[in-house]
Amino acid sequence: MRGLMGVAAVTLLLAPSAVAAEPRHAIAMHGDPALPANYAHFPYANPDAPKGGTVTYCVVGTFDNLNPFILRSLRTTARGVIDTIFGNLVFETPMTRNMDEAFGLYGLLAESVEMDEARSFLELNLNPDAKWSDGEPVTPEDVIFTYDVFTEKGRPPFRDRMRRVEKLEKTGPHSVRFTFNEEADREFPLIIAMTPIVPRHAFDMETFDQTTLQPVVGSGPYRIASIAPSQRIVFEKNPEYWGKDIPAKRGFDNYDRITIEYFQNQNAQFEAFKKGICDIHLDADPVQRERDFDFPAYLDGRVVGETFEVSIPPVVTGFAFNTRRPVFADVRVRRALAMLYDFDWVNRNIYSGRYTRTQSYWQGSDLSALHVSASTRERELLAPFPDAVTPDVMDGTYEPAHLENAGDRRDILRAAHDLLAEAGYRTEGGRMLRPDGQPFTFEILTGSRSEERLAAVFQRTLARLGINMSIRTLDDAQLQQRKQRFEFDMLVGTTGFSGTLSPGIELLNRWASPSRDIEGSFNLVGAADPAIDAMIAAMLAARSRDDYVAAVRALDRVLISGAFMVPMQHNTEQWVAYWNRLRHPEHTSLYGYQLSTWWSAGVETE
* DSSP per residue, 113-156: EEE-TT--EEEEEE-TT-B-TTSPBP-HHHHHHHHHHHHHHPPT
Count Cα atoms within 13 angstroms, Cβ side, for 390.
Answer: 16
Residue 456 falls inside a structural domain: yes
Q: Is residue 501 part of a domain?
A: yes
Percentage above 70 pLDDT, the chain = 94
pLDDT digits (tens, 9 = 90+) for 196-228: 999 999 999 999 999 999 999 999 999 999 999
pLDDT score, position 19: 53
Distance CA 379, CA 395 (A): 10
Percentage of the chain beyond pLDDT 90 is 76
Query: What is the number of structural domains in the chain?
Result: 1
pLDDT at 407: 43
Distance separating alpha carbons of residues 423 and 404, to the nearest angstrom: 26
Output b/e per residue, 474-492; b: 16+ Cβ within 10 A: eebbebbebbbebebbbbb
Q: How many CA atoms lie within 13 A of 505 on its CB side?
A: 21
Using the Cα atoms of residue 221, residue 226, residue 229 and residue 231 in order, give the sign of their dihedral.
negative
The vertex-165 CA angle with 162 and 171, nearest 5°, equals: 110
Question: Residue 17 has what pLDDT?
Answer: 42
Q: Is residue 322 part of a domain?
A: yes
Closest Cα to residue 121, out of 190, 183, 180? 180
Return d(Cα 148, Cα 574) in angstroms, integer.
40
Helices (H), 423-468: 449-463
pLDDT of residue 516: 94
Residues linked to residue 491 through DSSP beta bridges, in sequence order: 320, 445
In the chain, DSSP finds a helix count (H) and a strand count (E) of 15, 25
At 550, give phi and psi (nearest 5°): -60, -40
Residue 575, amino acid: W
CB count in 10 Å sphere of residue 413: 18
- Residue 592 in any domain: the answer is no
Contacts of 31 (CB under 8 A, 6+ apart): 545
Give the per-residue pLDDT at 289: 85
Computed over every residue of the chain, the mean pLDDT equals 91
**Three-state secondary-structure class, residue 546:** helix
Tens of pLDDT, residue by residue over 441-475, are: 999 999 888 899 999 999 999 999 999 999 999 98
CB 119 within 8 A of CB 189: yes
pTM beyond 0.95: the answer is no
In a domain, 425, yes or no: yes
Rounded to 5 degrees, φ, ψ at 270 are -70, -40
CA-CA distances (angstroms) from residue 557 to 62, 362, 379, 382, 563?
37, 11, 11, 10, 10
pLDDT of residue 572: 80
Does residue 81 lie within any of the structural domains? no
Name the E strands within 246-375.
257-263, 280-282, 303-309, 317-321, 356-357
Tell me: cis bond preceding 157? Omega within 30 of 0 counts: yes
Residue 453 lies in a domain: yes
Q: Is residue 547 situated within a structural domain?
A: yes
CATH number, domain with residue 356: 3.10.105.10
Please tell me the chain's helix, strand, coil percentages from 3-state DSSP, rounded to the nearest 5: 30, 20, 50
Positive or negative CA dihedral for 527, 533, 538, 539? positive
Low-confidence ranges of the chain (pLDDT < 70): 1-20, 403-408, 493-498, 603-606
Residue 179: C-alpha distances to residues 113, 188, 500, 537, 543 (Å):
13, 11, 28, 20, 19
Report the sign of the C-alpha dihedral through residues 386, 392, 393, 397, in that order: positive
In this predicted model, what pLDDT tens digit does every residue of 17-33 receive, in sequence order? 445 689 999 999 988 99
Q: Is there a contact between 114 and 26 (Cβ–Cβ < 8 Å)?
A: no
Whole domain around residue 467: which residue ranges?
317-570
